[in-house]
Amino acid sequence: MTLSLISPAKINLSLDVGHPRPDGYHDIRTVFCRIDLADELDLTPGDEPGIRLIVEEGDAPDGDANLAVRAAEMIRRECGTREGLEIRLRKRIPLQSGLGGGSSNAAAALRGAAELFGYAGELSALAVQLGSDVPFFLNGRIALGEGKGERLRGIPSCLPLHFLIVRPDIGVSTAWAYAELDRSGACGTTDYADRTVRALQSDDRDALLASLGNSFEPVVFSRHPEIARLKQRLLEAGAEAALLCGSGSAVFGIFPTRDAAEGAASGFGDVWNAVSSSTPEEVLA
């Protein structure tokens, strides 16, 4: 039996980074939004022990460096099974882009391995061991993430959102971004998330567009001005608002329709780009 799963990307509609905690992490407040840009995973049980990863499309870490492998192995240990698992992965979400591809793959592998091996425990408790934003991908379309991002509260909204996402040919290390933000003294100085939540809850599109903000933008743009230029190009191409994705390096622009986003994409042939949407009707396998 082969189980096929969709592994969607996310964007952060807003992201506030607080001061460092005693454990070395930062408290954050962020509004996650699932989008329809997605990787695909096929999971097939087998007699050969262990987890075998085959990357059929795109780039991804190998072995234990891959969160999907670690997630599947975690379920195997929890179930005490000797049965192995083959994961075939087709990557469309670029690495080091702030789109959460690795975390989403981990959540998909958790769900899939749990179904195949008959694990009936709580997946969220395992997800947080793999990464702070992995639990989001086990939940709904839009959520407020607090703590390290693992404490989630769903946000109902009827607003359809259409994005053009662009990424330069560089990656941004999340660890570097946090360290640079610490050095800048800018932690704990923004308050975007509350405004974003209120706008979504009231389905106020104009207020949502005005609420977008990301604590990482100043330090990332200072180090990588080409990313700042991509944000400006999105606005010049008709985006109603634009923002850095997570800690980068991708940037998204919000457009009034998907057609408008697709039209603007023609002007970004020099960089990786993808048109994506998040709608209330969206249902992912």
Q: Catalytic residue positions?
A: 10, 133
Classify 112 as helix, strand or coil. Answer: helix
Give residues with Cβ within 8 angstroms of 86, minimum separation 6: 43, 44, 45, 46, 51, 52, 54
Angstrom CA distances, 117 to 1, 88, 102, 125, 170, stand at 12, 17, 22, 18, 39
Q: How far apart (Å, rounded) are the C-alpha atoms in residues 75 and 279?
A: 31
Quick one: which of 249, 214, 239 has its CA closest to 164? 239
Computed from CA positions of residues 58, 59, 64, 68, in that sequence, does the dihedral angle turn out positive or negative?
A: negative
Q: How far apart (Å, rounded) are the C-alpha atoms in residues 164 and 217?
A: 18
77 φ, ψ to 5°?
A: -65, -40
Q: Cβ(170)–Cβ(226) under 8 Å?
A: yes
Q: Cβ(205)–Cβ(213) under 8 Å?
A: no
